[in-house]
Structure 1
Amino acid sequence: MRNDYAQINNHNRFSSSTPPPPSSAYDYNEYTSRRGERSAKPAAATTKKRPVQQQRRGGDEDEEFDEDSFHDRRRRKEERKAEKERLKREALEQAGPVPIFLPEYISVANLGLALGVKQHVFLAQLAELGFEDISKESILQGETAALVAQEYGFEPTVDVGEEKDLKPRPTPEDTSALPQRPPVVTIMGHVDHGKTTLLDYLRKSSVAAGEHGGITQHIGAFSVRMSSGRDITFLDTPGHAAFLKMRQRGANVTDIVILVVAADDSVKPQTLEALKHARAAKVPMIVAITKVDKSDANVDRVKSDLAAQGVEIEDYGGDVQVVSVSGKTGAGMDDLEETILLQSDMMDIRAETDGMAEGWVLESSIKPIGRVATVLVKRGTLRPGDFIAAGMVYCKIRSLRNEAGVEVDEAPPGTAVEILGWKDPPDAGDMVLQAPSKDKAEGATRYRQELKDREEDVATMAVQGEERREREREAAEKAEMERREKGNHRTGGSGGGEVVEKEGKEKDGREEENKTPGTQLVNFTVKGDVHGSVEAVCASVMEIGNNEVRPRVLLSSTGQVTESDVEHAATSGSSIINFNNPVSGHIKRLADDAGVKIIDHNIIYHLAEEVRDMLSALLPPNISIKVVGEAEILQVFPINIKGRVYRNIAGCRVRNGLMTKNAKCRIMRGGEVVFEGAVENLKHGKRNVTEMRKGAECGISFPEFDDFKQGDNIQAIEEIKEKRTL
């Protein structure tokens, strides 16, 4: 212990400026010699020292610092750097803008990396350019990113998927050398104005009898061989409002529109809608006035009503041809055929029969043979084995069938065929394009799906950004309110009254909000025979409801109701809407066991009515109060019940109506209700009675109230509940 203490003292005696004592004789001699050299140094050598900042790094401590040479080296370095920058700018100016290839969607972080700008600097510069709430994860569209790249001196090129996606080929400048194709004629008009009956006569079949309720439920496309030997492709679109989208698609793919108006009913709302769609599609129109065989037919009235709606018919100096026909007797059908062919010849409708085919999906569905879609071919020819793409799905054509269900070897322009072989049913209204190979078709659909996902991501980020800004705004308002409250507590000034008033208003607002009932959502799963019907049913269902009860479609698809649909409906508390599909007994039993309601209809009107009744049953009833009797309290009598317990009885005179025992009453005092409850006892003298009429005097008591005052009014009321409907 003593030796350790001695070593510590020896260490403290020799500071860092003095070398420690030697541990051997040799070291001791060297040690003494070094001490002597230090002590023998002249004082002049240590009297002047340069500041540390003037000493050259890594150099000898005794070397003099040359300040002029230092500044010269620094100046030459800056000149060389400026010269390099000048040469670089000149090279860029001579080479022109730097080309850059941008995708259709790019994040801010990746764009900054591509432009060679540091991330924090790039975000600040974007903010200066006017971008709000921008972050490194934000997604920019290709056009926006291109504008930003131009600001940085780049020449951007945006990838629009020319190589990946399928695009329709350009229309040839000279179409006179192309072969003629059958015209596509769409029949439009109001409900039950005879559209399908007219088409039924034209193609000598029984379409009207096959439609449920005599109403066309989905687009029918048929090629009809006319008496002249020429073909015409007819599209029969539904007439009622639920199929608005399908009617729009029909107008967009057609060459000629036949507007059907009943001679006994004239112009109706859906007639005007059909007029609007025909004008928007910019296609010629022919007016067919139907039901001219009926006794109350008035053709002149129809013509005048059409003229009032801006239809320039030939009889009034316009160019719209009008034909009077009857689908039942066939009167005027030859004139209609001649008018269609004449209009087609005037338009000179032609199309290529070779090359990559193009068309439109009119309808899609799931059948026992597989997923099928009705496609109208506009250019080119489709054959079995061809690869086609529509929207996000592609198909290798397994077979082509015409409207009669007969397989055909090819589908030339102007014909409608049912195509079998889809991976998934395409959406009605999608454009169909033929691909040279499976890889091209699959790549195009994959690219479109990626594009859709990116668009959804952009939309989601926009919503999230809006929600974030809303949260920040609310947080800032809350912080400001807390700051004001603290300031008011410290000062105790008049500002506190404002805060209390504001808080009171907010509290009242919250109470009001809590009292307001929320919207009750009713879940549905929609199944239909074809895609267009599913869309129409969803649109009809979503139109029903108000701010108290509204429908919500969780799932919608084509095909029959499956076990998984029932399981999903049971889990989500949904009802299943089945439109124009058979339901097997097994599925019905499964739904009954699971407590799932299946709404099964073939006519959309009846389906909408049942859904409306179902939602109406959830509405709270309208409750109205009816005063059936009124009595005035003339005197209050205390009655001894037992011991020292007394109870007040109201001595009354019945002024109006009837007072009955157990009737629900309310006691009015000064125009305000002070109590509401049922009558316990009703007495006339000492006798219990069940009712007292106008002018009689009686005693009235309530089980939970006896604070009567002379002059109070007792009103016997009756609640009337009235069922509400949507």
Structure 2
Amino acid sequence: MAEVTVKELAQVVGTPVERLLQQMREAGLSQTTPEQAVSDDEKQTLLTFLKSAHGDSGSEPRKITLKRKTVSTLKVAGSKTVNVEVRKKRTYVKREPADLEAERQRELEELRAAEEARQKAAEAEAQRAAEEAAKKAAEQSAKAAEPVAAEEPAPAPVAAEPAAPIAPVVKPVPSPAEQHKKKEESRRKAREDEEERGRKRAGGHGKDKGRHAPRINDEDDASRRRGGGGKLKANKKRNQHGFEKPTGPLVREVVIGETITVAELAQKMSVKAAEVIKYMFKNGNMVTINQVLDQDTATILAEDMGHKVKQMKESALEDSLVESMAHEGEEMSRAPVVTVMGHVDHGKTSLLDYIRRAKVASGEAGGITQHIGAYHVETDRGMVTFLDTPGHAAFTAMRARGAKATDIVILVVAADDGVMPQTEEAVAHAKAAGVPVVVAVNKIDKEDADPDRIKNDLAARDVIPEEWGGDTMFVHVSAKVGTGVEELLEAVLLQAEVLELKAQPSAPGRGVVVESRLDKGRGPVATVLVQNGTLRQGDIVLAGVNYGRVRAMLDENGKTIKEAGPSIPVEILGLDGTPDAGDELTVVADEKKAREIALFRQGKFREIKLARQQSAKLENMFENMGQDEKKTLNVVLKADVRGSLEALQASLTELGNDEVQVKIVSGGVGGITETDANLALASNAVVFGFNVRADAAARKIIENEGLDLRYYSVIYEIIDDVKKALGGMLGSDVREQILGVAEVRDVFRSPKFGAIAGCMVIEGTVYRNRPIRVLREDVVIYEGELESLRRFKDDVAEVRNGMECGIGVKNYNDVRSGDRIEVFERVQVQRSL
């Protein structure tokens, strides 16, 4: 790599310039200003100094720090979402053998001390028990000797000799063996008495009959069996049963995830769901059998019912997948992934077409790109992978995915058009993804091209050119004649060298799904960009909620290949479905593991979908009260690729207002089938096909039932047609239009018509067969219709502005001089969105 300045080196390593200069001074280097150059040898010297300063003397690392960042989306009130980012950091330190030995010795000393303390405590306890036993024996002996000493008469005193002492009579205390024998004897007698009572009850009501009933012992029973007494044997077998009453409650280990339903929890505890519901009702929680419980509630419930609980994280399978993807290997340089972004019709695909030497833009419907295309190009300085994103406003999500999967963004701006809304959106996506931008000012060969205006507009949006002290390269190109294309590629590769992109080709393949579609002859086909490792034919892959074995791999030209390394886009066959664009694709060790994780993800997706559909909660009741009053346009939508389907669903769902709305009844990838036609018939929906067609069975149903089926190939055409359909569902408004105003100058009396107003038309034209209003001091005092309209003695149909006339108002005679008569009509106006 060529020499760089201190400032450029600080930007590459991501550290402030002042700190880098201080470190260079400490390392003994001569650089003191940011503009001084740094050679490769000086970089190595600085690196060696920093390693020694941080305790790295060239041996294996003593400390390793693992960082993990997860981003989840939290839905708040309405349709707003909040991104929640959780960062975890853990440091592992490798200790010295001497430290480990010292710690082991310390633990042994602690264990030895604990054992000695335990032995001393046991000896003290035994001594205390022996003393208590001796004390109790002495007390019992004293108690036994007291009655005997009281009953003996006192001997008569003898004068010559003193009285001899009388030995006390002690009552013997039975030994523990004798006490146990007596207890067993009393228990045996109780059992015999119980058996005797049972025989009396079984023998009949008579007292003698129960007393003298013969008892059959084991020997008699055996002799009867040998002698052919099969009836007794049959009766004995019939009266026996195999159920044994458990000696205690069964304790099970219940595995509980982050969420679990009442039915699943009852099944794991081997109890009826009604018992769980009853327990919850007693604790004040009204639940149903399909109610979802959180982990804490389910844990308390299971423990209270006497079971052991093992809490399991929902991310256990995902964590195991991450651990299996860990690989240590040699890192090598990889080709940059470049995304071409910009406004629609600014020449993105035409520029890429000139680079690839293929006519792609001419094959696109309407001349605009409908989905992401991935290609790799071999240049003199290395390979470059290009992603061409759509520029239409509906493809916002696809542009965001393109920015996330890329290393460098080429922003194409037409020199004759300037910065447009999708241009600003592309800049925002690139900044959010944290990738460098190279601006390609296209169409400079046109007469009205103004490249300086492009620089001014982008500089106002924080995209500063290098000539003005910024870090963004501007290249003037012409996709039509090829001007500046080589300079653009050189700028991209130079930026890639600064980034020092690395990958491990020996690792298992990992990438991102760029696009997916359903091919009639080959099944699900996914376009994948390999980001790390090597993807080989025959690998077991997992992509979102889908998995499968790679049966075949094709490059962008349709040629079969056996493997694909980092930064190579390929089409793979063999998945069990069409994954969503943007899903991560990973190679899994075995098919069992891939199926397990895919089924787990499908279950989570189903739970999230069901949770969204449960809109009957109390807090959402008032929001949903007016939903049934809306007029709904039901749509069954089928598209050729997953990205176009997602963009269409988002665009159509956003159409509508408080009175009309669009509901996507079903959306999928592939041709229109008989199932789609039956669904449209049942839900009274229209069928839209975007770059797909209906099969014979579907066409038959559509023709017989008269369903509305429409084919489209350009996205804005389908959006315009849906807008017109929604406008027709809105109906029309009735508006009043004032045709003319006449001012009353005098009032005449007619025996036939009553009061006749002599008027002068001061605005517009007064017509005979139109409704009128009489205004007095700009206040409406009467609304009706004209009875007669005359000029002199002739009846006329209309009187124009500036002419005099006589007006007779039907059923109204209170017309006065100075009043105004306003003639109007009601017009229906078609509403639109």
TM-score, normalised with respect to structure 2? 0.59
Residue 443 of structure 1 aligns with an amino acid whose one-letter code is E
Q: 2: distance between equivalents of 1:600 and 1:556?
A: 15
Equivalent positions of 1:322-721 (< 5 A) are 322-369=474-521, 370-459=523-612, 463-466=615-618, 518-582=629-693, 591=702, 594-619=705-730, 620-621=732-733, 623-630=735-742, 634=747, 651-656=756-761, 658-666=765-773, 671-672=779-780, 674-676=782-784, 679=786, 690-691=797-798, 694-701=803-810, 706=811, 708-711=813-816, 715-721=822-828
Q: Deviations over 1:460-506 (max 9, x none)?
A: 56x444359979xxxxxxxxxxxxxxxxxxxxxxxxxxxxxxxxxxx
Matched position secondary structure for 1:618:
helix
**Residues 264 and 298, structure 1, Cα contact 8 Å, conserved in 2:** yes
| Residues 55-454 of structure 1 mapped to structure 2, 5 A cutoff | 101-107=255-261, 138-142=291-295, 157-163=311-317, 167-169=321-323, 177-228=330-381, 230-369=382-521, 370-454=523-607
Instruction: Render the CA deviation track for 1:85-138: whole Å, top value 9, x for unaligned.
Output: xxxxxxxxxxxxx99853121357988998x9x9799869998xxxx9888975
| Contact 2:477 2:485 survives alignment (8 Å) | yes
- Partners of 2:265 and 2:700 in 1: how far apart? 59
Bigger relative contact order, structure 1 or 2 (CA pairs below 8 A, ≥6 apart): 1
Q: Give the gaps of 5 or more residues in structure 1.
A: 1-97, 472-512, 640-647
> Secondary structure at the residue paired with 2:335?
coil
- In the TM superposition, residue 237 of structure 1 has moved relative to its aligned partner by 0.6
SS in 2 for 1:196: helix
Q: Distance in 2 between matches of 1:548 and 1:268?
A: 32
Which letter does structure 1 place at the counterpart of 2:560? E
Q: Deviations over 1:489-542 (max 9, x none)?
A: xxxxxxxxxxxxxxxxxxxxxxxx99x995432222222211111111222223
Shift of 1:722: 3.7
How far apart are residue 334 of structure 1 and its match? 2.2
Aligned equivalents of 2:636 and 2:460: distance in 1?
44
Identity of aligned residues (%): 36
Measure the CA separation in 2 of the matches of 1:210 and 1:721. 45
Query: 1:187 Cα deviation (Å)?
Result: 1.1
Name the SS for the 1:289 alignment partner: strand
After TM superposition, give the deviation of residue 604 of structure 1 in Å.
1.7
User: What is the CA–CA distance in structure 1 between the aligned matches of 2:714 and 2:769, rounded to whole Å?
Assistant: 51
Alpha carbons 1:165, 1:447 under 8 Å: kept: no
Amino acid at match of 1:628: G
C-alpha contact (below 8 Å) 2:673/2:695 kept by paired residues: no
Between 1:282-291 and 1:241-250, the stretch displaced more is: 282-291
Distance 1:613 1:164, change over 3 A: closer
Amino acid at match of 1:603: V
Q: Distance in 1 between matches of 2:566 and 2:656?
A: 45
Assess if the C-alpha contact under 8 Å between 1:667 and 1:715 holds in 2: yes
In structure 2, runs of 5+ residues without a counterpart are 1-251
- Aligned residues of 1:684 and 1:699 also touching (Cα < 8 A): no
Whose radius of gyration is greater, 1 or 2?
Answer: 2
Change (3 A) 1:453 1:546: closer
SS at match of 2:671: coil
Distance in 2, Cα, partners of 1:707 & 1:631? 16
CA deviations on 1:126-181 (whole Å, 9 max, x unpaired) are 98xxxx98889753444786799999999964332534887345886977x22333
Residues 389-428 of structure 1, C-alpha deviations (whole Å, 9 max, x = no match):
2222222322211111222222222211112223221111
Rate the CA distance shift 1:568–1:649 in 2: closer, same or farther, 3 A. Answer: farther
Q: Are 2:674 and 2:697, in contact at CA under 8 Å, matched by a contact in 1?
A: no
Q: CA deviation at 1:351?
A: 2.4
Greater mean alpha carbon deviation, residues 139-148 or residues 357-366: 139-148
Q: In structure 1, the residue corresponding to 2:564 is in which secondary structure? A: coil
SS in 2 for 1:328: coil
Please give the alpha-carbon distance, in whole angstroms, between the structure 1 residues aligned to 2:263 and 2:607.
Answer: 16
CA pair 136-609 structure 1, distance change in 2 beyond 3 A? closer
Partner of 1:502: none
RMSD between aligned residues? 4.2
State the 1:379 CA deviation: 2.4
CA pair 658-310 structure 1, distance change in 2 beyond 3 A: closer
Contact (CA 8 Å) 1:626, 1:718: kept in 2 or not? yes
2:828 matched to 1:725?
no
* CA shift for structure 1 position 281: 1.2
Letter of the structure 1 residue corresponding to residue 635 of structure 2: F
Tell me if the contact between 2:757 and 2:815 (Cα under 8 Å) persists in the aligned partners: no
Q: Partner amino acid for 1:581?
A: V
Q: Distance in 1 between matches of 2:344 and 2:307?
A: 61
Deviation for aligned residue 1:194 = 1.8
Give yes or no for contact 1:165–1:443 (8 Å, CA) kept in 2: no
Residue 442 of structure 1 deviates from its aligned partner by 1.9
